[in-house]
Amino acid sequence: MESVSVERFYLGCLAHASWMVGSGGVAAVIDPQRDVDIYLEAATSRGWKIAHIIETHVHADFVSGHRELAERTGASIYLGQGSGAEFPHIAVKDGDELSFGTCRMEFLQTPGHTLESICILMHDTGDPARPGVLFTGDTLFVGDVGRPDLSGTHTPQELAAILYRSLHDKVLRLPDETLIYPAHGAGSLCGRQMSAESSSTIGKERRTNYALLAGTSDEFVHLLTDDLPGAPEYFAQEVELNRKGAAPVSQLPGLQAFSATEVQQLQQGGVIVVDTRPPAEYAAAHVPGSLHIALTGQYASWAARILGLNTRLVIVGEDETHVRESQLRLARVGLDGVVGFLRDGISGWVRDGLELESIPQITAPDLADLCRQDPAGVTILDVREVGELASGSIEGSVCIPLGRLKTRTAELDPTKLVVVHCKGGYRSSIAGSILRRAGFREIANLIGGFDAWKAAGLPIAA
């Protein structure tokens, strides 16, 4: 009989990892993304039937494809007890098991990130010498643990204390050689210090994970909850959507091509124009009032944070292929309100004779000179997260993390030049578009962000 095979599927846009485990012609999918064809195609190519779908918890940061995948395969869905899921599923608890081929899975209840969180301990019974594998969901990451503030009934401190017990009473009692396969990597909103590594071991995390080095429950609680950035507003909506089960991606509406004049009319009716082109192209020329979120980065995550899930959108993209990719990525977080796109992109806008806007770009040396010449006339806005300031900052800069900027623009003086920066330039371009849309006329973007400032050898405040 074939041994157990494990395959990882990773969405960089959401820093989300899902897993497929196969043995004996049967497969289980763990934490599936919304567009599920990738699992069906992979299973078909290997001669597997997807019979099991396991959710490590009800996700808050992306839309799961569990409902569609179950409908298309007849697979059973497994969730931890107390999930509140409204679709048919099997509620699992400590000690429950699932076996197929030479794969044996044991469910561990590990509340803390959410109350229904589980981990799945997998053994290959056909190869007893093979180390066990723990699919940790959002309980334990490489270098971090799950955020403890996603409950409507428990405080973050209470959840953190529960998570401490889950980790120390169950997870850390496993052998050091046990592999861990988490549901997220670096950049996810579900933790703060995740590594870009796709896997680790219990032993390595025990030795190096900052949260696991906490000596007591109280120390662990403080580490996780002191200065914890607030959860994005859309998380609560995402949880409810996943409890019900999202509609198939195939049911998304078709995209209509709008002329420039039609886009203007839609803007007047409250539709938001989202420009997905690279930052340099947006800076050079863009539709007035548009928001910029480049498709090259964590596009869907930032779109959900800034726009919410109920916004109607028109996309400006490099071509129709990029527009359709934009729609799919937005659907993965439940932002299904894309009504169409600007026909022929910026070229179509120019052809119709409509005005464009631009945002000036400034180099690090030029910004340093400007600050020396007129320090009172310039505000340097740092939109990195507070935790990133440990690597230094520009003297006199104001820090407002990008995720909070829309509600904090009143803290900035619109009569001064506002120069925006992040680490490398992706987030600052988004921030510049937010400020311009909020009425700031004198703004500029620092080319290359704080990385460029450091590379130029300019002064850094501790």
CATH code for residues 361-455: 3.40.250.10
Name the H helices within 170-275.
202-208, 217-225, 234-244, 260-268
Q: In 10 A of CB 246, how many CB atoms?
A: 20
Separation CA 58–CA 95 (nearest Å): 20
Q: Which residue has the tokens 């894309």?
A: 338
Quick one: pLDDT at residue 293? 97
Indicate if the alpha-carbon torsion angle 235, 220, 139, 6 is positive or negative.
positive
**Kind and range of the H or E run holding 100:** strand 97-100
Q: Which two tokens stand for residue 97?
A: 């098991």
Angle at 154 between CA 151 and CA 156, to 5 degrees: 80
Angle at 199 between CA 161 and CA 20, to 5 degrees: 100
Quick one: pLDDT at residue 191? 79
Separation CA 146–CA 224 (nearest Å): 9
Q: Which of 29, 196, 235 is nearest to 113 (CA)?
A: 235
Q: Which residue has the tokens 């420009």?
A: 275
Question: Are the C-beta atoms of residues 317 and 345 closer than 8 Å to each other?
Answer: yes
Residue pLDDT tens, the chain, 462 long: 578 999 999 998 899 999 999 999 999 999 999 999 999 999 999 999 999 999 999 999 999 999 999 999 999 999 999 999 999 999 999 999 999 999 999 999 999 999 999 999 999 999 999 999 999 999 999 999 999 999 889 999 999 999 999 999 999 999 999 999 999 998 888 877 888 899 999 999 999 999 999 999 999 999 999 988 888 989 999 999 999 999 998 888 889 999 999 999 999 999 999 999 999 999 999 999 999 999 988 999 999 999 999 999 999 998 999 999 999 999 999 999 999 999 999 999 999 999 999 999 999 999 999 999 998 999 999 999 988 898 999 999 999 999 999 999 999 999 999 999 999 999 999 999 999 999 999 999 999 999 999 999 999 997
Separation CA 34–CA 62 (nearest Å): 8
Strand partners, 393: 461
pTM of the model: 0.92
Quick one: pLDDT at residue 1? 54
Q: How far lies 349's CA from each of 263, 268, 341, in Å?
A: 9, 16, 12
Question: Are the C-beta atoms of residues 434 and 411 closer than 8 Å to each other?
Answer: no
Question: Are the C-beta atoms of residues 91 and 81 closer than 8 Å to each other?
Answer: yes
Angle at 452 between CA 447 and CA 458, to 5 degrees: 120
Q: Is 407 exposed, middle or buried (0-12, 13-18, 19+ CB in 10 A)?
A: exposed
Separation CA 441–CA 110 (nearest Å): 50
Separation CA 236–CA 238 (nearest Å): 5
Domain layout of the chain by residue ranges: 5-244, 252-351, 361-455
Q: How far lies 452's CA from each of 221, 368, 432, 447, 460, in Å?
A: 36, 12, 18, 7, 12
- Domain 5-244 = CATH 3.60.15.10: yes
Q: Which residue has the tokens 């030795």?
A: 207
CATH code for residues 252-351: 3.40.250.10
Q: Which two tokens stand for residue 188?
A: 């996810």
Q: Which of 10, 57, 68 is nearest to 34 (CA)?
A: 68
Separation CA 172–CA 163 (nearest Å): 12
Order of all β-strands in the sheet with 313-316: 256-258, 338-342, 313-316, 272-275, 291-292
Q: How far lies 78's CA from each of 27, 29, 30, 119, in Å?
A: 14, 10, 9, 12
31 alpha carbon, distance to own chain's centre: 14
Given this chain, do its domains 252-351 and 361-455 carry the same CATH topology? yes
